[in-house]
Every structure is written in C-alpha cells, then in structure tokens.
Amino acid sequence: MATRRPSKKQSEHAARVRHLLALDAANVMARLSARQDEMVSLFSRLRNREPLLEPLESWFGSIAFAELVALSPTEQRAANSFYEQLGGLRWYLQYTEDMPGQVQLKLSALLRKLESAHAELVAALGPPDNSGAPVVNAEVVTPASPGKALRRQAAGADWKRSRTT
C-alpha cells in the first residue's frame, strides 16, 4: 500500500509546530540556566515557591492534537519526554517539603534529566531557528595551506548554491 506524501501546506504546518516546540523548550532551558543558582536561594530566603516555578513556565502551554499529529512519532516521543521531565520537575518543586539544601541537590539531578530530554528533543525537531547555513566542517587556515582552504571554501559555496536552487 502506497503512503501519501504530505502536501506542502502540511509540511509547512509541521515545520511551524516543530519550530514553536523547539523555541518553547529552548526558552525554558535558557531561563533555567540563567536562574538556577538563584532559584533555591530565593526559595530559602523568601519561603515562596514562585522563584522555583516561574522559570519552568511553558509559554506555549496548550497545544492541541491537531498540531501534534503533524509531527512524526519520533518527534512526538521526544516532545513528550521533554514535557514529561519538565512536568516532573514542576511537580517536585511545587509540592516538596525538602529543605533548601536537599532541594538544590534534587534540582541538579532533575535538571540533568531535563537537559538530556532537551538534547533528544533538539535532535528530533531541530533547533528553534535552523534557517542559517549548516556548518559541515571547520578548518583552521594557516599560511602554509591557503590553497586547500580556498578549494574547500569554493566547494562550500557550490554546495550552498545547490541547496538554494
């Protein structure tokens, strides 16, 4: 039985869903990276869970099956894994009765799991803005080998032109 290829409109829709999911996940990870050290100290000092929970907020909190169905099963699993880890971290920080020192240890362990799930998500969906030219090989140009580097640079320009046409 032959499978139908997705239409251009469906492909564009799926690409947009991928981009928004990757963007949301990148935003969460950037906020966690920037605020990780302060989160527990503010929680300890203020006795308020808001500093623990605010960096975990997903800006695209509701996504319907109509959008998720545009993704492949592999992409769906990667997104599910990331958001499941994020939900587990949010649950722990919302309801823990641990002291700040223990919260810091547990937060570090849970963040490692979340970082792993994020890496899988990026591998499946691509980075949030992958419209730039991919870097295939990087080579240090020394005065002894400018001819070789120029040949590779020219080959790279030919490759870029073939991708855009």
Write down the pTM of the prediction: 0.72
> What is the domain range of residue 51?
8-131
Whether 71 and 35 map to the same domain: the answer is yes
Whether 95 and 140 map to the same domain: the answer is no
Q: Is the pLDDT of residue 12 over 60?
A: yes
CA 42, chain centre distance (Å) = 26
CA 165/CA 158 separation, integer angstroms: 11
Cβ proximity of 18 and 126 under 8 Å: yes
Number of domains in the chain: 2
Per-residue tokens: 63: 């996504």
pLDDT score for 133: 38
- Give the length of the chain: 165
Cβ proximity of 83 and 118 under 8 Å: no
Whether 21 and 70 map to the same domain: the answer is yes
DSSP 57-115: --SS----HHHHTTS-HHHHHHHHHHHHHHHHHHHHHHH----HHHHHHHHHHHHHHHH
Which tens digits make up the pLDDT trace of 92-139?
999 999 999 999 999 999 999 999 999 999 999 999 875 543 444 445
Q: Is the pLDDT of residue 85 over 80?
A: yes
Whether 113 and 141 map to the same domain: the answer is no
Residue type, 123: A
CA 145/CA 46 separation, integer angstroms: 60
